Amino acid sequence: MNLFLFFFPISAISRPAAHPSPLHPKPHPSSLRPRLPNLAATPPPPPPSARPRRRWGCALLCSGSAAGAVQARGGTAARQRWSCSWLPAFGAFACEMFVLSQIEHNLPMPPHLLSRPLVDAIKAELERLFLDKVVANLGLCVSVYDIRSVEGGFIFPGEGCSTYKVSFRLLMFRPFVGEVLVGKISGYDEKGLHVSLDFFSDISIPGHLMQYGTARALDGRWMLKTEDGDELYLDLDDEIRFLVSSIKYPPIPVEQKETDRAFAPMQIIGSIKGDGLGLLAWWAADEEEGEAEAEAEE
């Protein structure tokens, strides 16, 4: 095998033409002068006090595990989107507890829905299948957000309905670990508190994740005993601020005793061990004092 190498001098390639031509016109002398910025047209920077407060926004795209969706519905979760914002005052991220999950699903269309428009019939069937149900590793379906694409419409042998390949997005409730939520105390037992968000009630706060000094009283209620000797009770329907410690998707039990609680396919473990966490009434006075000081400084 013969190899031929050709070398070209860089100066010969980058050197402009010596004589003017239609391809290499001679530059005008005025174009060779250095160009200085127009300092008079540049406005001066605003003072630090007049500058707007910096706001940050970010979007996170990641792929979620679709094992539960594949086993339960035959679909595949494609991606999820979180809308996040940076709060410089608190030095932490504040994200919404609702996410959009894009799913592809082979949807059999019942014959009694074929008289309706195709998109409306598909949305009605998707709401029947997913609405108010938990998809493993994705969360609780709140609504069918939109339908991205519809393909197929084939009738397979032995079936009396047409099957469509549908790509759609679901609005899912799934707070991230470390997010702070506010709910109401719906019950308590020897293990801890039960909290409800009105639309989701499988939230528990165990005793070891409560404020230091929290214990059960003689009547079964949980109370916080302060250093001054005050007893602050956590009663039913009290608003409580908690931190999401973990989210669990337990497997469906084969057998369940009558004394056991109802099976919860999605469980949120909360924590009130930290500053600002617990009953809203505990921190109401401090928050009012902080707002008054901020207004006085302004």
Instruction: Give the span between the Cα atoms of 279 and 283, in whole angstroms.
Output: 7
Architecture of domain 56-173: 2-Layer Sandwich (3.30)
The model's pLDDT over 26-80, given as tens digits with 9 standing for 90+, comes to: 544 444 444 444 444 445 555 544 443 333 322 222 323 333 333 333 344 444 4
CA angle 276, 279, 283 (to 5 degrees): 45
The secondary structure of residue 46, as a DSSP letter, is P
Which residue reads 């500058």 in tokens?
51
pLDDT of 24? 47
E strands, the chain, are 56-62, 75-87, 92-95, 98-109, 134-135, 139-154, 162-173, 180-188, 192-196, 203-206, 214-216, 222-225, 231-234, 239-248, 267-271, 278-279
Class assignment of domain 180-253+262-292?
A: mainly beta
Instruction: Give the span between the Cα atoms of 259 and 47, in whole angstroms.
Output: 68
Mean predicted lDDT score pLDDT of the chain: 74
Own/partner pairs, 119-123, CB within 8 angstroms, 24+ separation: 119/147, 119/150, 122/147, 122/150, 122/164, 122/166, 123/147
Q: What is the DSSP string of 145-200?
A: EEEEEEEEEE--TT-SSEEEEEEEEEEEE-PPTT-EEEEEEEEE-SSEEEEE-SS-
Which residue reads 């707070």 in tokens?
175
Q: Where in the chain is the domain with CATH 3.30.1490.120?
A: 56-173
Which residue reads 């402009």 in tokens?
16
The partner residues of 50 in beta bridges, in order of sequence, read: none
| Confidence tier at 230 by pLDDT (50, 70, 90) | confident
The model's pLDDT over 80-123, given as tens digits with 9 standing for 90+, comes to: 443 333 333 223 333 468 999 999 999 999 888 888 999 999 99
Q: Where in the chain is the domain with CATH 2.40.50.140?
A: 180-253+262-292
